[in-house]
Chains A and B, each alone.
Chain A
């Protein structure tokens, strides 16, 4: 067990019949970090999260949450974990105020004032039945519930799915504030790459149940670059098609103006050596957004874990 890991999986595998949803995934989320697990629909993100929450038993492998087995110690662990599910799951007939009252009886450190303040800040009517709230209001209510228990760990399963930009912004702002105030560990799965880019300090990319990549965001962004260049035929040149090998491209596209690639092993030295090669003209490298990086990686599916 890792004393510094808030969440950890070790060769975690989830099968549904013959379908492998999560395939021997090992992840470490250090305490105080924000880990974003990215992946397309059906990549296995929610299955992995459900195992971490102790809602579902893994087929194989193991997982830990705050140093404990979530399947065996779920009830106790949930005192320290805030959860925002993919689909709002609060009882539809209960109002946000009633939900707060209900949860207040279950958590030892329930922050009722903070809960009410957040609802007010989000503009969620406290006396309207949960089922009648807008999707954004539901998401924000669930986030308020998750944060009001003063959790050590927040587990968010695609929490901004279907939210409008304002609600999404408010959602992430609240998480940022929580991070600033309490240093809560966050484990989230999301498709909202722009939103998560500003808060995630670690990123994992899951594809078809396999973890393709898992590292710190900055390190990731520093080793991934968009590389553009023109390739000319010169006498004696023999490395056509392999000139990018040292940069370990995950995607190469031939455009009318030249070649565009995404390098996964970028460094200044390597790029200089590449740019100085015979026949390489107008080579330039540009940083990638998390979304571009995700598209390149999730589209190719190579195992890029470092």
Chain B
């Protein structure tokens, strides 16, 4: 310790001019308020900002200056031998120079910083946005800078061939870090503070190992020292990079089986594919999503996004992904499910809906009020036409490879009474003829016929909102009111005729859902509970089933078998607790079920109706939160993911 202190103190004494300069600089913040251009009311701020700039300048400049000279200059001037001619172990020489140099730099920063901090009454902080921890982090940036300057000065001054190795590995490492970072961000994983700390830790460990090896193995031999430094530095950095690459790989693509808190959603009409998304422990706040073939067991990693559909023959998937760094762009991916290859088409904005032909050769996409039909995988534009209803979002659906039916979904994002005053216009249903590139109007769908809910004092100013749920063959839609409107209508999409209706003012308002064979379920809430009405495709009432109270909310799941429908009921007004039931539509029996099946979202831009009993209809989350697939023969649940809450 005595020897370490001797070396460290000598380093400080040798460069005491840095402290003298810092002391002189510490006066400057107190002089700035005296400048005529600085108002008296801003004196404290001017002083603090000046001190902040000066402290940072001294930190960075001092770190580079002292770091570059502490060993590199002595080595070049052949004066490092003075230390090695003394009974000083190499580690003491290294530690003394490191400790002395860093102490000098940090001391100089404090000399600049402390007087202004104390005088401004903000000690231990300085400026409002730079409180004590932020200032400490800023001042401690001098540590890596000091070490980088040390390493760089030895490398440059040695003029050894290792310099080439350094440059090549530096470029390769920078490229690797860029690619890893880009992969993380492209898949929606923003590294958390622990990851950033780990990166800083690896960098510091590499720099410390490099400088120690340089002093211990190189001693007075600059070239040998540079070689030892490079070996140690790059060994640690490349090992860290390998660990980082492995972590990135496991974070981005952990595999379906490692997901926690996983949710599933059917993808496409075939019934074999589902989108499964969940988080992984230690992977931060991001989630990983897969397109999972429940029949074949294959999985394809998806980028974060929205709307995924798979062609009925299972050959191709279309996926809308958040592109660019931090999801600044929108990209449409067409994924060949046989090879895993994906082609990407940038979009100007999030699409309202997408659909694939059954053979996966054509893709329809509605975005920005424009409907486009594209050939896959070339993304060649086959047809494009504007949907003449700017306020409504539309979902496309192929009726054949040359006909796309466009049914309204909901008012477009941002469309509200403030922006577009007056009554909401009735939307039309349309068909796009691909060959002739024409848009043909089918019918007007009257939303204005839905009754308004009595004003609710708890929710004043609530606007009328509407939702359309398209049927499996897109020949009919269920219209239901949201916001201040209520009621549900089964409409013929080609004529606009009302086939059935339910009007009920009680919460949560009437809702509807199609079965895969075209039958319809409309809900009718009343003050005591809720009744489900089963309708034929032409709107004739087939049965009415009373659901167990309480019913504060309603969700529909899948059809795990013919005449079977999963229905979720909210048990409290906050809709935090849900109970799920299997409703036998043929007998009218309602049976509670364990677990939570994937719910079907009317707002999905790629809604599909898989056949009853198909694999996706047998998915659910069990009591432990695991996503399980039930065997139709034995009823046994096979876990597909891990249990537990979403991992952090």
**B86:A89 contact, CB within 8 angstroms:** no
**A93:B14 contact, CB within 8 angstroms:** yes
8 Å CB contact of A55 from B2, B79, B219: B219
Provide the main secondary structure of the chain B interface: helix
Chain B stretch 357-387: residues in CB contact (< 8 A) with chain A? none
8 Å CB contact of B84 from A55, A98, A107: A55
What separation, in Å, do the CA atoms of A83 and B84 have in the docked complex? 10
Q: Does A135 contact B (CB under 8 A)?
A: no
- Return chain A residues, CB-CB under 8 Å to B88: 75, 78, 106
Q: Does B85 contact A (CB under 8 A)?
A: yes
Q: Does A222 contact B (CB under 8 A)?
A: no
**B224:A56 contact, CB within 8 angstroms:** yes
Chain B stretch 87-123: residues in CB contact (< 8 A) with chain A? 87-90, 92
Contact with A along B1-39 (1 / 0, CB 8 A): 011001000100110000000000000000000000000
What separation, in Å, do the CA atoms of A281 and B229 have in the docked complex? 68
Name A residues whose Cβ lies closer than 8 Å to a Cβ of B.
Answer: 16, 50, 53-57, 74-79, 81, 83, 85, 87, 89-91, 93-94, 98, 102-103, 105-107
- Return chain B residues, CB-CB under 8 Å to A53: 84-85
**B78:A87 contact, CB within 8 angstroms:** yes
CB distance from B273 to the nearest CB of A (A): 63
**A54:B86 contact, CB within 8 angstroms:** no
**B224:A91 contact, CB within 8 angstroms:** no
CB distance from A80 to the nearest CB of B (A): 9
**B14:A55 contact, CB within 8 angstroms:** no
**Other 18 A-B pairs with CB < 8 A, given A54-B219, A105-B2, A106-B86:** A56-B220, A75-B89, A77-B87, A78-B86, A78-B87, A83-B81, A85-B78, A85-B85, A89-B80, A89-B82, A90-B79, A91-B10, A91-B14, A93-B14, A94-B14, A98-B13, A106-B3, A107-B86
Q: Does B221 contact A (CB under 8 A)?
A: yes
Chain B stretch 208-231: residues in CB contact (< 8 A) with chain A? 217, 219-221, 223-224
What separation, in Å, do the CA atoms of A79 and B89 have in the docked complex? 11
Nearest chain A residue, comparing its CB with the CB of B81: A89
CB distance from B228 to the nearest CB of A (A): 10
What separation, in Å, do the CA atoms of A103 and B86 have in the docked complex? 8
Nearest chain B residue, comparing its CB with the CB of A74: B84
What separation, in Å, do the CA atoms of A257 and B90 have in the docked complex? 62
8 Å CB contact of B85 from A76, A83, A102: A83
**B6:A50 contact, CB within 8 angstroms:** no
What separation, in Å, do the CA atoms of A98 and B221 have in the docked complex? 27
Chain B stretch 70-86: residues in CB contact (< 8 A) with chain A? 78-82, 84-86
- Return chain B residues, CB-CB under 8 Å to A106: 3, 6, 86-88
The 5 closest A-B pairs by CB, nearest first: A83-B85, A75-B89, A79-B87, A78-B87, A89-B82
- Return chain B residues, CB-CB under 8 Å to A74: 84, 90
- Return chain B residues, CB-CB under 8 Å to A75: 87-90, 92
A-B contact pairs, 13 of them (CB 8 A): A53-B85, A81-B85, A89-B81, A89-B82, A90-B79, A93-B13, A93-B14, A94-B10, A94-B13, A102-B6, A105-B3, A105-B6, A107-B87
CB distance from A104 to the nearest CB of B (A): 9
**A85:B81 contact, CB within 8 angstroms:** yes
User: Are A57 and B3 also in contact (CB < 8 A) when A83-B85, A89-B81, A102-B10 are?
Assistant: no
Q: Chain B: how many interface residues by the 8 Å CB criterion?
A: 25
- Return chain B residues, CB-CB under 8 Å to A107: 86-87
**B219:A78 contact, CB within 8 angstroms:** no
Nearest chain B residue, comparing its CB with the CB of A80: B87
**A76:B87 contact, CB within 8 angstroms:** yes
Name B residues whose Cβ lies closer than 8 Å to a Cβ of A.
Answer: 2-3, 6, 10, 13-14, 78-82, 84-90, 92, 217, 219-221, 223-224
What separation, in Å, do the CA atoms of A188 and B176 have in the docked complex? 52
- Return chain B residues, CB-CB under 8 Å to A103: 86
- Return chain A residues, CB-CB under 8 Å to B89: 75
User: Are A55 and B221 also in contact (CB < 8 A) when A89-B79, A94-B10, A106-B3 are?
Assistant: yes
**A56:B3 contact, CB within 8 angstroms:** no
What separation, in Å, do the CA atoms of A105 and B7 have in the docked complex? 10
- Return chain B residues, CB-CB under 8 Å to A78: 84-88
What separation, in Å, do the CA atoms of A55 and B78 have in the docked complex? 12
What separation, in Å, do the CA atoms of A50 and B80 have in the docked complex? 13
Nearest chain B residue, comparing its CB with the CB of A155: B85
**A57:B10 contact, CB within 8 angstroms:** no
- Return chain B residues, CB-CB under 8 Å to A55: 81, 84, 219-221
What separation, in Å, do the CA atoms of A220 and B449 have in the docked complex? 125
- Return chain B residues, CB-CB under 8 Å to A16: 223
CB distance from A76 to the nearest CB of B (A): 7
CB distance from B51 to the nearest CB of A (A): 29
- Return chain B residues, CB-CB under 8 Å to A83: 81, 85
Nearest chain B residue, comparing its CB with the CB of A83: B85
What separation, in Å, do the CA atoms of A55 and B81 have in the docked complex? 8
CB distance from B21 to the nearest CB of A (A): 16
- Return chain B residues, CB-CB under 8 Å to A105: 2-3, 6
Nearest chain B residue, comparing its CB with the CB of A50: B220
Most buried by B among A53, A89, A93, A94: A89
CB distance from A45 to the nearest CB of B (A): 15
Nearest chain B residue, comparing its CB with the CB of A103: B86
CB distance from A162 to the nearest CB of B (A): 15
- Return chain A residues, CB-CB under 8 Å to B84: 53-55, 74, 78
8 Å CB contact of B221 from A56, A76, A79, A89: A56
What separation, in Å, do the CA atoms of A83 and B82 have in the docked complex? 9
CB distance from A7 to the nearest CB of B (A): 15
What separation, in Å, do the CA atoms of A55 and B85 have in the docked complex? 8
What separation, in Å, do the CA atoms of A167 and B417 have in the docked complex? 100
- Return chain A residues, CB-CB under 8 Å to B223: 16
- Return chain A residues, CB-CB under 8 Å to B3: 105-106
Nearest chain B residue, comparing its CB with the CB of A82: B85
CB distance from B492 to the nearest CB of A (A): 89
- Return chain B residues, CB-CB under 8 Å to A94: 10, 13-14
Nearest chain B residue, comparing its CB with the CB of A91: B14
What separation, in Å, do the CA atoms of A85 and B79 have in the docked complex? 10
What separation, in Å, do the CA atoms of A54 and B88 have in the docked complex? 12
Nearest chain B residue, comparing its CB with the CB of A79: B87
- Return chain B residues, CB-CB under 8 Å to A76: 87
Most buried by B among A75, A79, A94, A103: A75
CB distance from B449 to the nearest CB of A (A): 92
CB distance from A246 to the nearest CB of B (A): 47
